[in-house]
Structure 1
Amino acid sequence: MGDKLRQAPRSFDSRMRHSNQAYLQGQAPHDEHPPICRRIGFVLLEHFSMMAFTGAVDAIVTANLISRKPLYRFETYSLEGATVRSDLGINISVDGELLALDTKDLDILIICGGFRSNLEPQRPVVAKLREAARHRAILGSLWNGSYLLAHAGLLDGYTCTVHPDSRDGLQELCPQVRLLPHPFVIDRDRISSAGANSALGMMLAVIRHHHGDETVRGIEEILACDRTLDDLPDSPMPTLVDDPTFPEALQTILQLMKNNIEEPLSIEDLALRACVSRRRIDRLFQRHLNTTPSRYYLEARLTRARRLLQQTNEPITSIAIACGFSSAPHFSRCYREFFGVSPSQVSARHRRS
């Protein structure tokens, strides 16, 4: 019994839980009930914005990667034919035609437009969009896909956004639709984004509504490589765990931890340098990070080690030292306790791949 308990992987307590979720082995999900796998359909108009589409899909796929069970499944549809040409001139194969779509168990339907897309929907298309609305699917648009929803009368009384080049036309066509000059808009069961860059933000907002801030933080950490150098292998700690709304003392302590991974400071040293009491540090971590400072520090070091094992060919002993562990055996025990596999197994997989 004791051996089995020692072999069972421990869970991450802090906000780094979702950053590491995809790499944990043999653990039960944190939720008592398995997450719902929502079905999303994308309708690709001819000359649709490839960047807007892939931004939205990237959020969905990454959400599945950091979850122990799929959170979303997506399908693509055309107005007609087996392929659709994007704005880049690349033909994309689709799963089917919109008119054949079964909307009964559809959770979200998103119209993907583009700068040169034809925005005059045929009557059967309008009927299918209205059918999806009757089945209570969330209806959305990328770029100027709002045009089709407005033609179908499905944006009456809603706020939405559209690409600036299409704003005047939509306002003239459907004055009952309230257009906002925002990157993306979510109004009850209608979602819309105005361009390529905002599609990702819109989908992250949807995922946040479904699964909370921690899931979105995990997605952002993977997708935000172009925002900061902190995501590179020489970064001492994972990004996006610090919050500007945290008390100044907690931000100071997190920064001290970030700067002292290879040679970890004691909690007493952290308290001394941050000019706060040890008791206050405990309260700050419990209130804002739902863990203890020692546990958070350990999780940060193990997360750093996991990245180095996956991204470099450094010896395990070197990685252990770089992450503040006194010996390779101690590092291996801690790593296995949390991830359910040994560092050598992770390193071997990395070399094979």
Structure 2
Amino acid sequence: MTPPRQRATTAETAAPPRHFVFLLLDQFTLLSFAGAVEPLRIANRMAGRTLYTWALAGEAGKDGFSTCSNGATFRLDMGLEEVARDDTLLVCGGIDVQKATTRAVLNWLRREARRGVTIGGLCTASWSLARAGLLDGRRATIHWENIDGFSEEFEEVNLTKSVFVIDGNRLSTAGGTSSIDLMLKLIAADHGEDLANLVADQLIYSAIRTDRDSQRLSVPTRIGVRHPKLAQVIQMMEAAIEEPVSPAELADDVGMSTRQLERLFRRYLNRSPKRYYMELRLQKARNLLMQTDMSVINVALACGFASPSHFSKCYRAQYNTTPYRERGTQGAPGPALPRLSV
């Protein structure tokens, strides 16, 4: 068997370091960026040599600065310049990604994609890739909070709820710590599972997720209740927002009476099935209002409201504002969401 140091020396002479370029959009999420770059640093340390290098890019150009959503600033290494064809370009998104995805960014992404560069989107940056047309006909993921708006705007993208997705030379993550999972996958593909596991141990990351894992907690975990029929009904509600199903049908589908279903929701969630269902629909409506340019009427229809006036009345009761005023306050802090909304 070849000694470890000899194997490393052979690999070092065989392949140069893999280079990553991180495009930091304005108001990018620090956690997603750190979750991508730290595994690379640790991989270099564990290997005892430089396996990975990286540079920070942004519209401000070399020695300019990019600011993340928590206010921290980062000095940039480069502007929107041509990268090497074998580089991996990762776009780091965050708050108000639509505004941060400027025409210059879109043109740069399209140009680099035409040159065959591998391009990925972290957190909300899948929106940037989709807006540039780089995800048409591809599988992708995005943070769960942005799924509603993304699905309405980019029907040609096969959106999943996975932690991360690798589809050819297109990568995407759901945000948060999912960047770690993606990078561990890439490290394992480049240098083997043993090194990826060493990196995970250094991160005290004991549950490595795959692209088959869902980004959201299960319904029982989210609502803090482990009742199989309650979880099943809520899953059915979430899957039928545009065409709501009556409580009687929901109850029948899980083998109970409507009265039993009412008691179940009152006992565990302190509200009726109808009220809970309404909160789900209004939460989706709010996401669409804040994340898309859909008309208020189309938002109402997409959330199961046949009458715009009824939609407006229900929305005001829930959020103390009208859908039209909500659309006009995009970017401002919104009202607190209901505790049990999902």
Say which of 86, 94, 98 aligns to 2:76: 94
Q: Is the 8 A contact 2:58 2:66 kept in 1?
A: yes
Q: Is the 8 A contact 2:26 2:100 kept in 1?
A: no
Q: Which amino acid aligns with 2:182?
A: M
Give the equivalent residue in structure 2 for 1:161: 141
Change (3 A) 1:206 1:129: same
Say which of 119, 128, 136 aligns to 1:139: 119
TM-fit CA distance, 1:215? 1.7
* Matches of 2:163 and 2:52, distance apart in 1: 23
Normalising by structure 1, report the TM-score. Answer: 0.54
Give the equivalent residue in structure 1 for 2:95: 115
Cα deviation 1:6-29 (Å, max 9, x = unaligned): xxxx976xxxx6xxxxxx7x9962
Change (3 A) 1:204 1:27: closer
Give the equivalent residue in structure 1 for 2:152: 172
Q: Is the 8 A contact 1:45 1:118 kept in 2?
A: no
Write the mapping of 1:1-16 to structure 2, written as runs, cut at 5 A: none
- Secondary structure of 2:54's aligned partner: strand
* Matches of 2:163 and 2:8, distance apart in 1: 38
* Matches of 2:8 and 2:143, distance apart in 1: 44
Q: Is the 8 A contact 1:104 1:132 kept in 2?
A: no
1:83 aligns with 2:65: yes
**Unmatched tracts of structure 1, length 5 or more:** 1-9, 18-23, 229-353
TM-fit CA distance, 1:30? 5.1
* Matches of 2:178 and 2:95, distance apart in 1: 15
- Secondary structure of 1:126's aligned partner: helix
Change (3 A) 1:32 1:146: closer
Say which of 95, 98, 109 aligns to 1:129: 109
Change (3 A) 1:92 1:118: farther
Structure with greater contact order relative to length (CA < 8 Å, sep ≥ 6): 1
Give the equivalent residue in structure 1 for 2:212: none
Cα deviation 1:107-133 (Å, max 9, x = unaligned): 211110113444463333222111211
Change (3 A) 1:175 1:92: same
Q: Is the 8 A contact 1:146 1:192 kept in 2?
A: yes
Change (3 A) 1:56 1:32: closer
1:149 aligns with 2:129: yes
Q: Is the 8 A contact 1:47 1:115 kept in 2?
A: yes
- Secondary structure of 2:196's aligned partner: helix
Change (3 A) 1:87 1:182: same
Say which of 54, 66, 83 aligns to 2:34: 54
Change (3 A) 1:119 1:156: farther
- Secondary structure of 1:74's aligned partner: strand
* Matches of 1:120 and 1:48, distance apart in 2: 9
Q: Is the 8 A contact 2:85 2:116 kept in 1?
A: no
Q: Which amino acid aligns with 2:143?
A: H
Q: Is the 8 A contact 1:163 1:194 kept in 2?
A: yes
Cα deviation 1:30-62 (Å, max 9, x = unaligned): 548433311110011111110110110011111
1:63 aligns with 2:43: yes
- Secondary structure of 1:132's aligned partner: helix
TM-fit CA distance, 1:67? 2.1
Write the mapping of 1:209-224 to structure 2, written as runs, cut at 5 A: 209-224=189-204
* Matches of 2:138 and 2:104, distance apart in 1: 23
TM-fit CA distance, 1:205? 0.8
**Unmatched tracts of structure 2, length 5 or more:** 208-342
* Matches of 2:103 and 2:41, distance apart in 1: 33
Larger radius of gyration: 1
Cα deviation 1:182-204 (Å, max 9, x = unaligned): 11111111111111111110111
Q: Is the 8 A contact 1:107 1:137 kept in 2?
A: yes
Give the equivalent residue in structure 2 for 1:315: none
Q: Which amino acid aligns with 2:120?
A: G
TM-fit CA distance, 1:137? 1.4
* Matches of 1:214 and 1:110, distance apart in 2: 25
Cα deviation 1:304-331 (Å, max 9, x = unaligned): xxxxxxxxxxxxxxxxxxxxxxxxxxxx
* Matches of 2:16 and 2:156, distance apart in 1: 35
- The number of residue pairs the alignment matches comes to 205
Note the aligned Cα RMSD (angstroms): 2.4
Q: Which amino acid aligns with 2:185?
A: A
* Matches of 1:120 and 1:174, distance apart in 2: 18
Q: Which amino acid aligns with 1:85?
A: T
Change (3 A) 1:118 1:84: farther
